Amino acid sequence: MNRSTFTIDYTITDKDHLDPADALLMDKALKAAGNAYAPYSGFSVGAAVRLENGEILTGNNQENASFPAGICAERSVIFYAHANFPQSRILSIAITASPCGICRQVLLESEKRAGIPIRVLLANGNEIRIFSSVKDLLPFGFDSF
């Protein structure tokens, strides 16, 4: 039996200390959260991605009375990006909450598809955590073994 340890490296800051590009991305995610449809959970989430072509796209959670039919903010914007800009890789994503397990796997697949790390900014109130790769959020994704 072998024992192993891994460390996750990330930065903690606040909205006032983000660089202008990251601040814009987070602002877009926060605005997107305001358009979420969350009548059942009351938990509105927004996400914004920056593509390598310079586009910033947004998404938000969309709930449904048939609970599995809803979609999280992260997946709504990632799937939109891949459907409408298939040749432009996602460089970074800002999310107004911590992503669920399904969204982490979708983000990991997007990172693998892009062939480059996707920077992840997670907001919790005024606190922002910045990760240099999705792998920091899901170190043992489906493709890791």
- Cite the active site residues: 74
3-class DSSP state for residue 13? strand
Q: Residue 43 phi/psi, 5° resolution?
A: -110, 100
Q: Residues 20, 115: contact at Cβ < 8 Å?
A: no
The dihedral built from the CA positions of residue 29, 89, 79 and 122, taken in this order, carries a sign that is negative
Which residues have C-beta within 8 Å of that of residue 17, sequence separation ≥ 6? none
Q: How long a stretch of residues is the chain?
A: 145
Token pair listed for 127: 């606190």
